[in-house]
Every structure is written in structure tokens, then in C-alpha cells.
Amino acid sequence: MLDRPNRIAVAAPSLGGGVARPDLITVEQAKAMSIGDITSAFKEHLNPGQLHFMKLLGFHKVKIESAEGMFYTDQNGRQILDFFGGFGSLAFGHNHPRILEARQKFQDEKRHEIAIAFMSQYAAALAKNIAACSPGDLDMVFLGSSGSEAMEAAVKLAERAAGPKRPKVVYAENSFHGKTKGVLAITDGQLYRADFKITDNTVRVPFADIDAVENAFKSDPEIGVIVLETIQGGGGIIQAPAEYWQKLRALCDKYGVLWVADEVQCGYGRSGRFYAFEHYGVVPDVTALAKSLGAGKAAVGAMIARREVYMKAYGTPKTAMIHAMATFGGMGEACVTAIEGINVLYDEHLIDRAADSGNYLLERLQALKEKYPKIIKDVRGKGLMVGLEFQDFSQTLPMVLRPVVSMLDDKLKGSLSGFIGALLLRDYDVLVAFTEYNRNVIRLEPPLICERGHVDQFIAALDDLLGRGIVRIVKDFVGSQIG
């Protein structure tokens, strides 16, 4: 039961006085808010617990005034190189001029935004473009506002197409498919699952273990769907070999199981192909996009399905409205933003650039791994979706200290990546991200406009920081918390 102390009584408004205006902040006042004002409002009205972690990393000291291309500009005028990229949401960087122009023209012409009652040329055109970018017969599109919504739609469609006699869904260890209630059942993180009551029609297997998948299919005829990230993001940028995906496709065909590929983070050109699964010469039955689909200016998600699968689930007038677009799916300006984004993606050859800059980033990081083997454990990724894994804390220390400190490694997991991320921001004006499950991993997902010069800037900063050595890195981080 929730405690309900000190309830406040609210008097009913007078019938003739009208509605009083509350004490509201205007747009100009919001723009002018100080760091202290922002922190206070965040603590009081957004997420006070999250503020603890922002303070640890020094993020709470930064107020972003503007952003362009690969850089943020803060309240002091310093430019911050963005190697975080909003978990892959900023393929075009910040405020790409063509994206801004398309949105401004839409507004200037007073085009329609919500057209639920009518056909929307913008939603129709975006769906056609997404289908054109999708291989095989992935050509039926559902438009939503987020990755979670797209994945909810994907799993629901696949479950319906599989039929009521095959309701079970296979998912992988260390998976992340969203935080909404439905996909929480296939998101393998106790932090997010907490104590929610989730659906129990799921089967968990190790990621990239094809024998485990085959054993599950063989032993349980109620399995109708398997859902996998093509590259695990929250799991620490984990990939499976090409033969895994090829065998998976063959097993799904053999056992009549529908394969849902979650490309919310790894899709849209980030891996060096429009979809990451294209590297392996296979096509799933259903997939999902989001993140950069909105071109960094709109919240857009999409589920894309094979026509045969879609029609089986929702192909009649009687079933068509079971999971039709929601109110804000296919909004005009959001669709226009996404339409222009896809055109920019190909016009500026950003998929090829992701492959080139990604290979260069991996090469430079591999050289740092060889230079600092006691600090860097692994470098991995594809395109501009890269994981930099650090050693457990004990392994970075002199041999005589390792046995004692190793007992604390689990509790210290994530501390080194946190120290390095915080100092990269404070001392080198570089922003990086982290992963949900393997806390020793720094996640690098810069915009696809990233060039080799940006990679060089990042590598120079990281090299200089790691050159301080572990003892000084720890001391400098502690100093940042005191100062």
C-alpha cells in the first residue's frame, strides 16, 4: 500500500471566475534556466534517483545551448564531440540542414499533422520508402513513435501469425527489446523487469548458441516465434557469426517458427548495411526500426513484415484494426522528417561512411588495446556500433594486489568505464555511452556523418587519458567528485 500522509484538500473553482493560470515557465524562460534551476526541476519532477548517476559522471554540470553536426555546445561555449549519438538516434548528427529545411517547409505550408480520418500521403510515402530499403518481401509497414512500440507491434503480429496453438516466444540472454510491459517479457534484465508481472509464454536461450535454439524448437512444439537483436546493444555490443544466422533461418523454415529481428539500434545503416542482418545474406520474417529513423528530430518507429505474415495476422477487414496505427503513428511532420532522412542517408552515402569510419575506429582502438593490454580487454563491433570493454579492476593493478582486489571485481564492475567516461567529458570534451548488462563496456555510436578526423580526435583523447595509468585515473576521478 502507498502511504498517503498529509493529503491536500483542493477547493472547487468558482463557477463564474474562469480557470486561473498556474505559474508556468515560458519557452524563453526555459531556454534561460540555470544549471541550478534545471537540477532542481529534474530532482523535483523527473527522476531524483537518476540524478545520482548524472552527478557521478559530471553530466549534471553541463547545459547544452546548441548542437550541430558532430558537436554539442555547452553554456561555456565549449564544443563536445558526440560519440554517444543518443544510443544510435543521431545518424545525421545534430540539426542536419536538409532535415531542418524539410521540417520548416512543412510548417510554413501549414500541412496537416494528424490525419487519422483520412489517407496520409506522408505515412504512405514513408512506408513505401522503408519497404524499398528492405530486402526480400519485407514490405508491410506499421508506423509508431518508439523502438518499444515497434517491437510490441512486431511481437504481436508474429504471435498472431504463428497462431493460438504456438504462443511461445524464444528470446536471448542479455537481450534488450524495450521497457514497455509486453516486450519486458523478452528483455533479459532484472533491473527493468523488477517485480512487474510479465507474460510467461517465453523461452530463454543463450545468444549465438544455435544448438540451444534447435533444442528448444525440437522439444517444444508450442514455440512459434523467436526474437533476437542482430547485434546486442545492451549486452555489450555482442555479435553472432554469419553461420549462426544462416542456420537460424534454416531452422525457422524447418520448424515453422517466425523470426523477428530487432534492428532498432543496429539498423538504419549503423552497421554498414541498411539492416545488420544483410551482412549474412538472410532475411527475417519481421523486423523493427526506430532511433535514427526520425532523423534526430522526430520520434518515429516502424515494424516491417513479410506480406504473407502480415496478411495472416491482420489481412481481413475483421482483423485489420486489431493493431492499426495509434494516434501519433504516422504524424505528418514526423513522416516528412523520416522521408527526408532516408533520402539524405543514401544521397550522402552515409551507410558507406559508417562502414569506412567504423573500420577505421576499430583499427585505431585495436592499436590502443595492444598498447594498454592491462586496461583494455576487448574491442568489437560492426560499422559505427562499437564496444570497448575494459578489464576487471583487479587486472589493471600490480600482480601483488590482484588476489585481494579480485574479490571486489563484481562490485567494482563499471567503475573503470565510468571513471574514463567522466574524465573524457571533463578533460577532453568527448561524450561516450555505456551498456546495460556488461558495465565494463563503453558504447560508441557516433553519428554516421563521423569522419576519420573525428575518430582521430576521439582516439587522441582516449590515448592521453589511458596514458595517465590507473592510479592517476582513479585519483583524478575522485578529485572531480570533490571539486
172-208 confidence digits (pLDDT tens)? 999 999 999 999 999 998 889 999 999 999 999 999 9
Residue type, 114: I
Q: How high is the pLDDT of residue 340?
A: 98
| Lookup: cell for 117 | 480520418
Residue-wise pLDDT tens digits, 444-467 = 999 999 999 999 999 999 999 999
According to the model, what pLDDT value does residue 139 have? Answer: 97
Beta bridge partners of 82: 431
Q: pLDDT (tens digit, 9 = 90+) per residue, 412-429?
A: 567 889 999 999 999 999
Please say if the pLDDT value at position 55 is more than 50: yes
Q: How high is the pLDDT of residue 363?
A: 98
pLDDT at position 118: 86
- pLDDT for 408 equals 47
**Rounded-to-integer distance, Cα 85 and Cα 291, Å:** 10
* Band (480; pLDDT cuts 50, 70, 90): confident
| Joined grid coordinates for residue 140 | 508491410
Looking at per-residue confidence, does 310 or 400 come out higher?
A: 310
- Place 404 in a pLDDT band, splitting at 50, 70 and 90: very low
Determine the pLDDT at residue 450: 98
Specify the pairing of strand 433-434 against strand 168-172.
Answer: unpaired
SS (H, E, C) the chain: CCCCCCCCCCCCCCCCCCCCCCCCCCHHHHHCCCHHHHHHHHHHHCCHHHHHHHHHHCHHHCCEEEEEECEEEECCCCEEEECCHHHHCCCCCECCHHHHHHHHHHHHCCCCCCCCCCCCHHHHHHHHHHHHHCCCCEEEEEEECCHHHHHHHHHHHHHHHHCCCCCEEEEECCCCCCCCCCHHHHCCCHHHHCCCCCCCCEEEECCCCHHHHHHHHHHCCCEEEEEEECEECCCCCEECCHHHHHHHHHHHHHHCCEEEEECCCCCCCCCCCCCHHHHHCCCCCEEEECHHHHCCCCCCEEEEEEHHHHHHHHCCCCCCCCCCCCCCCCCHHHHHHHHHHHHHHHHCCHHHHHHHHHHHHHHHHHHHHHHCCCCEEEEEEECCEEEEEECCHHHHCCHHHHHHHHCCHHHHCCHHHHHHHHHHHHHHCEECEECCCCCCEEEECCCCCCCHHHHHHHHHHHHHHHCCCHHHHHHHHHHHHHC
Mean pLDDT of 315-327: 91
Residue 45, C-beta contacts closer than 8 angstroms, at least 6 positions apart: none
- Say what percent of the chain tops pLDDT 90: 80
Task: Tell me the mean pLDDT in the region 143-167.
Answer: 97
For residue 297, give the nearest of 122, 446, 93, 75 by alpha carbon: 93
Torsion of CA 228, 234, 238, 240, to 10 degrees: 0
Instruction: Give the model's pLDDT for residue 220.
Output: 98
Q: How confident is the model at residue 326 (pLDDT cuts 50, 70, 90)?
A: confident
CB crowding 214-238: b at 16 or more within 10 Å, else e: bebbeeeeebbbbbbbbbbbbbbbb
Residue 66 bridge partners (DSSP): 73
CA gap 320, 35 in Å, rounded: 49
Strand partners, 387: 380, 443
Alpha-carbon distance of 166 to 223, in angstroms, equals 5
Other CB atoms within a 10 A radius of the CB of residue 101 amount to: 11
What are the two backbone dihedrals, phi and then psi, of residue 379, each rounded to the nearest 5 degrees?
Answer: -130, 130
Task: Answer whether 297's CB lies under 8 Å from 251's CB.
Answer: no
CA–CA separation, 9 vs 231, rounded Å?
53
pLDDT digits (tens, 9 = 90+) for 71-129: 999 999 999 999 999 999 999 999 999 999 999 999 999 998 887 788 899 999 999 99
Mean pLDDT across the chain: 93
pTM of the model: 0.93
Over range 394-412, report the average pLDDT.
58
